[in-house]
Amino acid sequence: MVGGSGGEILVVAEHHAGQVKPVSLELAAFGRALAQATGKTATGVILAYPARPLAESFAQASGLPVLALENENLSCYNAEAHLQALAGLARERKPALILIAHTATGWDFAPRLAAALGASCCTGITGFKIGDPIRFLRGICGGKIMTEVAPIADTVAVVTMMPGAAKPKAPAGAGSVEIIHAEVNTAGTRTLGYQEAPPRSLDLAKAEVIVAAGRGIGGPEHLGLIRELAACFDRGAVGASRPVCDAGWLPLEHQVGMTGQTVAPRLYLACGISGAIQHCMGMSRAELIVAINTDPGAAIFNVAHLGIVQDLHRFLPALIAKLRERKQKKL
């Protein structure tokens, strides 16, 4: 077990295709706020090869002093190489906390790192509350319940932060960079490469209004209503939640959320969408969010500006009729 009594917070950055990911700057801001509130220091960590350009870029954009772990096996993400390098660093520096972004990458290695270190593990948190012990906030049950969780006393805490939980802040100046050679070998898992998402014929980012369908529409036979509503707008498009695309009701290019497209239209009409955090991450920046759902407890109402607790099969025809009426009056 690694004692977590130290005063350091390690902020683990991610990179892809030679760039530090934007979420890492959110994480740095979160780490800095946490350090300030708890009287600790925040240190950036990046694992890369070659490490210097990425480390300097992270140190400059975050303002954190950055430790760069360098090894040929760290040129792209490999779970085992990451684990070995980070576990080695944690055993040496005995940080109080290791902060990781709750991305497909961070989520992949964070629980294993915690198990390897005998550490506490709090994943997918959206905020913190100062106190003894410190509490992290996490939504459960599709966002219907909020919880406060705390790391186990006297252990290092591995914590993953939901993207969007903090806003990146411009630093006063660039942090220092220290390059450390990391000992890693990757006997097991081999990274073979990346496959870009197929080119999209639909760019939801250009839509002014998105009418998004969730599982609550009931089946692909009800998509006509969604399309009809979207067609009421000059620049309207049809979006979807993950379950709708998984079920094959709509092609993947319609998917909004963490693993789909991130959108910020003027108007987002969420129809039968429960409001899983992964979906909300992709649309919470819309100017006006309207949610239509039969379940008044659905988490979508926590992010919506206007809520309608109705069966969309009955409500949408009424809305479409109203919109057409207006249009005709205008003509």
Partner 1 sequence: MKILVCVKSVPDPTTTFLINAAGAGYEESGVVFGVNEYDWYAMEEAVRIKERVKETEITALIVGPLRAEAALRKAMTLGADRGLRIDDTDQPASDALAVASLIAAWAGDRNFDLILAGVMSQDLQRGQTGPMLAQLLGLPCATMVVAVKWAEDRRSLICERELEGGLRERIALPLPALLTVQSGLNTPRYASLTNVLRVKQLSIPSIPASSLGPVKKCEDLLRAFLPEQSAACEFLEGDLDRIAEKLVAKVRQRVPVW
In terms of Cα–Cα distance, which of 308, 302, 297 is closest to 283? Answer: 302
Q: Considering the rule CB under 8 A, would residue 194 count as an interface residue with partner 1?
A: yes
Q: Considering the rule CB under 8 A, would residue 309 count as an interface residue with partner 1?
A: yes
Q: Considering the rule CB under 8 A, would residue 175 count as an interface residue with partner 1?
A: no
Look up residue 123 and give its two tokens.
Answer: 């994943």
Report the site for partner 1 in 24-53 (rule: CB under 8 A). Answer: none
Per-position x/- string for 222-241, each x denoting binding to partner 1 as judged by CB under 8 A, each - no binding = ----------xx--------
Instruction: Judge whether 313 and 222 are in contact, CB under 8 Å.
Output: yes
For partner 1, the closer of residues 173 and 194 by Cβ is: 194
Binding window for partner 1 (CB under 8 A); candidates: 39-47, 91-99, 168-176, 194-202? 194-202
Report the site for partner 1 in 255-294 (rule: CB under 8 A). Answer: 255, 258-262, 266-267, 274, 277, 287-288, 290-291
Q: How far is residue 165 CA from its own chain's centroid?
A: 8
Q: Which residues make Cβ contacts (< 8 Å) with residue 311, sequence separation at least 6?
A: 294
CA 90 to CA 105: how far, in whole Å? 19
- The residue behind tokens 């409500």 is 315
E strand or H helix that includes residue 108: helix 106-117
Q: Considering the rule CB under 8 A, would residue 73 count as an interface residue with partner 1?
A: no
Binds partner 1 by CB under 8 A, chosen from 1, 37, 140, 205: 140
Binds partner 1 by CB under 8 A, chosen from 19, 36, 147, 176: 147
Binding window for partner 1 (CB under 8 A); candidates: 2-10, 24-32, 42-50, 244-252? 244-252
CA 271 to CA 300: how far, in whole Å? 10
Binds partner 1 by CB under 8 A, chosen from 109, 156, 161, 165: 109
Nearest distance, CB of residue 42 and partner 1, angstroms: 22
Query: How far is residue 276 from each of residues 128, 146, 152, 242, measured CA to CA in Å?
Result: 20, 13, 28, 10
